[in-house]
Amino acid sequence: MAEPAATPPAQDGHRVAVLALDGVIPFELGIPQRIFGRARTEEGRHLYSVVTCSIRPPGPVRTDADFAILVENGPEALAEADTVVIPASYELGPVYEEGRLTDELAAALAHIRPGTRLVAICTGGYVLAAAGHLDGRAATTHWSSAEHFQKLFPQVKVDADVLFIDDGDVLTSAGVAAGLDLCLHVVRRDHGTAVANDVARRTVVPPHRDGGQAQYIQRPLPEPQLATTRTARAWALGRLDQPLQLRDMAEQEAMSVRTFTRRFREEVGISPGQWLTQQRVERARHLLESTALTVDQVAREAGFGTAQSMRQHLQAALGVTPTAYRRTFRDVTPA
């Protein structure tokens, strides 16, 4: 069933400008509108206002597909933005070949106000790098472009093994679906997990893939006739607050521990133990954001047992303590 059309966004919300360059990839151009345009309060008020703009006066912009798009806003829209998103393009010209902006692109970017948050999807990072915004910073791009990116911009610390990098006011992502992950991360950072999860559900994508996850994982596909581990995963999710043993999960599928472990890795890509830790971290995040439970209580409810254990796992997964995480996200109340 198709989702109802979005209502017009609130005009006083956070303003996002998406810069459509010639050769833009339509899929990635549509990501910001899809993610930010669906973020709303419990009352249904939109939290972002999203516009698409060009570096030229309003008019057609070529895409990498067999159609052009009509962009109704010129570069002046960049001056009104709180966040500027630059999707990937296959026609970056001197930006990609020489690491320099064209006069037309430089003039357009000059409209961006100091302090504006900058977000690049895939090779959109070339534009930020050519403009000097990534000097001395960590950044990522599509894995197939990473080596070229690093050679062209040696002053940038390129990490080709992650989905996205959040460096505060400048964020970059790998290609294609990683743009979804990055934009959902921004929504989560701005308004908390509940809002981001609602957007993910509307978009029918996983609510969270950590930025440090590898861009691509090569693993064998399970044979289609073999039983899955879905029942065991559902069983475990309903008991995260309890001690769970590998043999208990294997019993849910009537498998030996060895067979279950192999099958689990084939289907999920990580071990059962790693998966359980990820789910408990997600449970802890939710409880820290949405309840007044103490850190000790959250640790027990999430299945970590002790606050110290939860602190170690959150520090490893998110780089913050439970207290710092709660302070950052529970205080975020959508206006």
Binned at pLDDT 50, 70 and 90, residue 227 comes out as: low
Q: What is the mean pLDDT of residues 205-213?
A: 58
Q: What is the mean pLDDT of residues 13-40?
A: 96
Which residues, 6+ apart, have CB-to-CB distance to 251 below 8 Å?
none
> 71 and 52 in contact (C-beta within 8 Å)?
yes
> 15 and 83 in contact (C-beta within 8 Å)?
yes
Lowest mean pLDDT among 85-89, 115-119, 229-233: 229-233
Q: pLDDT at residue 145 above 70?
A: yes
pLDDT of residue 216: 43
Q: From residue 86, how far is each of 83, 104, 118, 126, 265 by CA, in Å? A: 10, 15, 8, 10, 36
Q: What is the mean pLDDT of residues 31-49?
A: 94
DSSP symbols for 145-184: GHHHHHHH-TTSEE-TTSSEEE-SSEEEE-STHHHHHHHH
Phi, psi of 52 (to 5 degrees): -105, 140
Which residues, 6+ apart, have CB-to-CB distance to 324 below 8 Å?
none
Q: pLDDT at residue 156 above 50?
A: yes
Query: Structure pTM?
Result: 0.67
Tell me which amino acid residue 42 is: E
Q: How far apart are the first and last CA of the chain?
A: 31
C-beta atoms surrounding 107 within 10 Å: 12
Higher pLDDT, 265 or 145: 145
**Structure-derived torsion over alpha carbons of residues 55, 56, 59, 65, reported in degrees to the nearest 10:** -40
Tell me which amino acid residue 74 is: G
- For the stretch 58-63, contacts whose Cβ atoms lie closer than 8 Å and that sit 24 or more positions apart, written own/partner, are 61/20, 61/21, 61/22, 61/24, 62/22, 62/23, 62/24, 62/91, 63/23, 63/24, 63/25, 63/26, 63/29
Gap between the Cα atoms of 209 and 134, Å rounded: 23
pLDDT of residue 210: 54
> 266 and 219 in contact (C-beta within 8 Å)?
yes
Q: From residue 157, how far is each of 57, 164, 209 by CA, in Å? A: 35, 13, 22
Gap between the Cα atoms of 173 and 178, Å rounded: 6
